[in-house]
Amino acid sequence: MEKSQIKFTFIDNKDFHTKLENVSQAVLHHLTMTCNMEIIPKTDATISVFRTLPKQEGGKCYYPFFLREPFSLENIDFCEFIEPQHLKMMQEKKVVPLVVMTSELWVLFNLEPNRIFRNSPYFHVIKKLEKHGIKEQDVVWLTCDRYIPKDPRIKARFLHFDYFLEQQKVLQNEFNTLEKIEHRFISMAQGIHRHHRYAMSYNLYKENLLQHGLSSCPEYENFSYVNAKRFELTNDYMSKLSTFDSQVFERWKNTLPTKIDGKENMHQRRWDEGHLFEKVFLMISNETHHPDDTVFITEKTYRCINYCRPFLINGDRGSLGYLKEMGFQTFGSFWDESYDDEKTDQARISKITAILKKISGTSNAELLAQYKEMKPVLEHNYNLLKNYKQWNQLN
């Protein structure tokens, strides 16, 4: 497979991003007090991947704006941080303005009939660029969303770029063949609290599956998502599980938090995490799932591919379909993947649990034989990830 070819250059604008991170504390304080917004980094994490690109001569030249989110930028004129000579080059179309917003998935457009289109988060960024003489139609925008709507009012060119795929791609690990099974599955749900992660962890406990695998989960929190389409507390969400039992639920909460021995989330420093999966048959990807209709795939799934293990995705509806669109293969020949089409989290988690129960009742010898049958799929996915042609679209 042809590898990604890097035939473009970037303006070195480290000073711009330093100033962006050091933006007025008064503005940040105002946002925190009036909008209940947490003070968080302004720079998109994708900058870590772009910084390591080899220098090239010739080709297109981009001025990258690594912007973590569009919302607070309504109150910050970030273009004031651009050095004058770089601004002039963009105004004269000698350099292409490149907005990079790929480490998180944002709803950028107000497309509902009762909402003002030019008040959408997308225009929080565009209006600042236009104010400084950069035309909307000259902007290239990278997002992790493959499904940007086709609307004539959107004049920037949108490209799909998967930061988390690239993050795994650059790890120098070899194909990791499974030779011995000590755990049937691993389920990592530490980190940011999510309803669906609690539900998966509860089901593992309720169905006595923890004896067969590894699981981590934070302390329980009864919360609701900010800006969700509907208000729902964790307790209400959990009560909709087909396996819900109030007494078991209380016992399970008392077991939390649970942790997995060994260091996790080492991918953030581009360190190998193969030690976590070496003797594990299956990985449960507890994705970064929000209660909306988008699909967001992160390192939680891509590391399954990178470390050559079959996986189940506890996340957005259509996640497997999304991967197939990108050319990856999944495991419908080995178990029922219809969970991907279920409309509710609870229904998807119920079907995933049924698969786990079947796997937990299968002998290690049979699972190793099944892994051997899966190996062509695992090799295809590993090779596709390592050679995925993301950079070509910027050439």
Q: Are residues 296 and 202 in the same domain?
A: yes
Q: Are residues 143 and 195 in the same domain?
A: no
Could you tell me how far CA 239 lies from the centroid of its own chain?
27
Residue 302 has pLDDT above 80, yes or no: yes
Label residue 75 by pLDDT band (50, 70, 90).
Answer: confident
pLDDT at 271: 64
Residue 266 has pLDDT above 60, yes or no: no
Residue 120's alpha-carbon distances to 109, 116, 263, 268, 292, in angstroms, are 5, 7, 40, 31, 17
Q: Are residues 156 and 198 in the same domain?
A: no
Q: Are residues 139 and 242 in the same domain?
A: no
pLDDT at 291: 67
pLDDT at 29: 55
Instruction: Average the pLDDT over 226-250 and give the result.
Output: 91
Lowest mean pLDDT among 114-123, 185-194, 255-264, 343-352: 255-264
Instruction: Average the pLDDT over 68-85 and give the result.
Output: 93
Residue 85 has pLDDT above 60, yes or no: yes
Residue 166 has pLDDT above 70, yes or no: yes
Instruction: Average the pLDDT over 158-182 and give the result.
Output: 93
Residue 267's alpha-carbon distances to 155, 218, 254, 264, in angstroms, are 35, 20, 30, 8
pLDDT at 262: 60
For residues 205 and 217, the answer to whether their CB atoms sit within 8 Å is: no
Q: Distance (Å, rounded) from C-alpha 144 to C-alpha 147?
A: 9
For residues 49 and 163, the answer to whether their CB atoms sit within 8 Å is: yes
Residue 4 lies in a domain: no
Residue 234 has pLDDT above 90, yes or no: yes
Q: Are residues 156 and 219 in the same domain?
A: no
Of all residues in the chain, the percent with pLDDT exceeding 70 is: 91
Lowest mean pLDDT among 42-51, 84-93, 119-128, 196-205: 42-51
Number of domains in the chain: 2
Domain boundary among 109, 132, 161: 161
- The overall average pLDDT reported for the chain is 90
Residue 105 has pLDDT above 50, yes or no: yes
Q: Are residues 22 and 127 in the same domain?
A: yes
Sign of the CA dihedral 235, 239, 243, 248? positive
Q: Are residues 179 and 130 in the same domain?
A: no
Determine if residue 265 is left, alpha or beta; phi over 0 gives left, psi from -120 to 50 gives alpha, anything else beta: left
pLDDT at 22: 87
Q: Are residues 228 and 298 in the same domain?
A: yes
Residue 395 lies in a domain: no
Q: Are residues 68 and 208 in the same domain?
A: no
Residue scoring higher pLDDT (361 or 34): 361
Residue 317 lies in a domain: yes
The domain in which residue 34 lies consists of: 9-161
Hey, which of 2-11, 39-48, 100-109 has the most confident mean pLDDT? 100-109
Residue 46 lies in a domain: yes
Residue 313 lies in a domain: yes
Q: Are residues 148 and 56 in the same domain?
A: yes
pLDDT at 158: 97
Rounded to 10°, the helix 345-360/195-206 angle is: 40
pLDDT at 229: 67
pLDDT at 1: 45
pLDDT at 292: 73
Of all residues in the chain, the percent with pLDDT exceeding 90 is: 73
Q: Are residues 300 and 246 in the same domain?
A: yes
Domain boundary among 103, 128, 161: 161
Residue 164 has pLDDT above 90, yes or no: yes
Residue 142 lies in a domain: yes
Instruction: Average the pLDDT over 215-229 and give the result.
Output: 88
Maximum Cα–Cα distance across the chain: 68
Lowest mean pLDDT among 209-218, 251-260, 283-292: 283-292
Residue 337 has pLDDT above 90, yes or no: yes
pLDDT at 368: 98
Q: Are residues 193 and 157 in the same domain?
A: no
pLDDT at 276: 85
Domain boundary among 134, 161, 188: 161
**Pick from 100, 63, 99: nearest CA to 83:** 63
Residue 394 has pLDDT above 60, yes or no: yes
Label residue 264 by pLDDT band (50, 70, 90).
Answer: low
Residue 166 lies in a domain: no
Residue 269 lies in a domain: yes
Q: Distance (Å, rounded) from C-alpha 240 to C-alpha 251?
A: 18
CATH number, domain of 300, equals: 3.40.50
